[in-house]
């Protein structure tokens, strides 16, 4: 038990070492939370943009195959 206490005291430097470990842990947790939040926001934005991209692809394909009038009629209805 005494060895554990000696380890935790870190030869008198525990006042500096343990708070620095705590700060690093908080920074790493903050970065993980920030990354996940950014990923979710990016996925939401992609989900909003995806229908427009698909519509553009369909229109481009229709224009290249000559079905442009058919697509234009379907989208106006």
Q: What pLDDT shows up at residue 73?
A: 57
Q: What pLDDT shows up at residue 61?
A: 85
- Per the model's pLDDT, the better-predicted residue between 65 and 3 turns out to be 3
- What distance separates the 2 farthest-apart alpha carbons in the chain? 85
**Is pTM, for the whole model, over 0.75?**
no
- Give me the mean pLDDT over the 14-28 stretch: 97
CA distance 5 to 8: 5
Q: What is the pLDDT of residues 37-76, one digit of tens each?
A: 999 999 999 999 999 989 899 888 888 887 655 555 555 5
Residues 6+ apart with CB under 8 A from 71: 58, 59, 62
Q: In Å, how far from its chain's centre is CA 70? A: 39
């Amino acid at each position: 038990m005494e060895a554990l206490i000696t380890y935790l005291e870190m030869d008198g430097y525990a006042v500096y070492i343990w708070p620095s470990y705590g700060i690093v842990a908080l920074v790493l947790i903050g970065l993980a939370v920030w990354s996940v939040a950014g990923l979710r926001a990016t996925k939401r934005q992609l989900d909003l943009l995806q229908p427009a991209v698909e519509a553009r692809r369909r229109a481009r394909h229709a224009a290249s195959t000559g079905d442009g009038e058919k697509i234009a009629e379907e989208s106006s209805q």
